[in-house]
Amino acid sequence: MSLEHRRRVAACIEDIGTDINRLSQNFYRHLLQDDPALSRVFSGNTAALNRKFFNMLAALKNVKHLEKIEASIQQLGERHGCQYAVLAEHFTPTKKALVTALEEHLGDGFSAELRQAWDAVFDEVADLMKVAISAAPPAEDDSAPVTGYDGDLLQAIGGEEVVLRIHRRFYDVIFEEPWLGKFFRGKHETTLARKQTEFMVAAFGGENRYRGDTPAFVHMHMLITREQLEVREALLRDAIRAEGLSEEIVERWLRVDRGFWAGLVKTSEEECVLKCFGQYPVVAKMPQGYVSVANTSTAVDDG
């Protein structure tokens, strides 16, 4: 696969833009018409299916950094094998449905060169995922929860405005947090609250308006540890509780949020993936005498 193939696919995905949900519908229509048995793997309502399709395109869009993100792609494959019972043979009908949907969507714009680029990019990503799937333990049972998704939660929370208020409250605190706040230097609090709301609204069963990359790719240059995610979760728990939501809703929200941790956690700077020459890993060291501002979690560095 050449760099030009990767650039063509990334540009194509950018051009699709807000039409991604329509492309998603065409993809699933072809996929399930050709192989109805795949409805077991590609299950859920329209919002859930659109989200899965978006994540697939996000992985393909980032393939221009493939040598740097192989670990993230393999983690994606492992999750698909463990949580969705995806098998290596599922990639052939998936690719066929995707190419057919693209051909319909782009019309004359889907040139022979662009088709060749999609073929090459899809195959290389699929090969990486297949290796991880073959090594992954099988899904435990058919009732295993869908990671990172709860299709009824948005309604239970009270709608998007409530989610946005919670995120505004959350970012007000985390920007000032003495340890985790280091990750947010130079960031715009209002923009992050809006983007995080769009992302989680889709995860909670609402409309998918999020157009950024998936968490694993957004944070691939950051050394994020499990301990840091636990402190972040404590801050988020406080923000949800402060809005007056029940403990049941708090736990459901946090369970969805934890579904994205696997693609974020790293144990050393060597695991960070740099997007361009001259970039450095983003590392936030725990301050000496650190005490978290979360009401539910504290930590102290013994220096």
Antiparallel, parallel or unpaired: β 282-283 and 222-223: parallel
Percentage of the chain surpassing pLDDT 70?
Answer: 85
- The predicted pLDDT at position 300 comes to 37
Please give the structure tokens belonging to residue 194: 């809006």
Question: What distance separates the 2 farthest-apart alpha carbons in the chain?
Answer: 64
Domain ranges, ordered by start, for the chain: 3-135, 153-283
Residue 247: is its pLDDT beyond 90?
yes
Cα(247)–Cα(251) distance, integer angstroms: 6
pLDDT band at 65 (very low <50, low <70, confident <90, very high): low
Phi (first) and psi of residue 184, to 5 degrees = -110, 10
Percentage of the chain with pLDDT > 90? Answer: 46
- Statement: residue 145 has pLDDT above 60: no
Residue 75: what pLDDT?
72
pLDDT number for residue 303: 35
List Cβ neighbours of 109 (8 Å cut-off, separation of 6 or more): none
For residue 188, what are its two tokens? 């715009």
What is the distance of C-alpha 90 from the center of its chain? 21
**CATH superfamily, domain at 3-135:** Globins (1.10.490.10)
In tens, the pLDDT along 74-114 reads: 777 777 777 667 888 999 999 999 999 999 999 999 999 99
According to CATH, the superfamily of the domain at 153-283 is: Globins (1.10.490.10)
Domains 3-135 and 153-283 share a fold: yes
Residue 302's pLDDT is what? 38
Confidence of residue 1 (pLDDT cuts 50, 70, 90): low
User: How far is 102 from 99, CA to CA, in rounded Å?
Assistant: 5
Crossing angle for the helix pair 226-242 and 160-174, to the nearest 10 degrees: 130
Per-residue confidence at 68, pLDDT binned at 50, 70, 90?
low
In the predicted model, what is the mean pLDDT of the chain? 84
Taking residues 65-76, what's their average pLDDT?
70
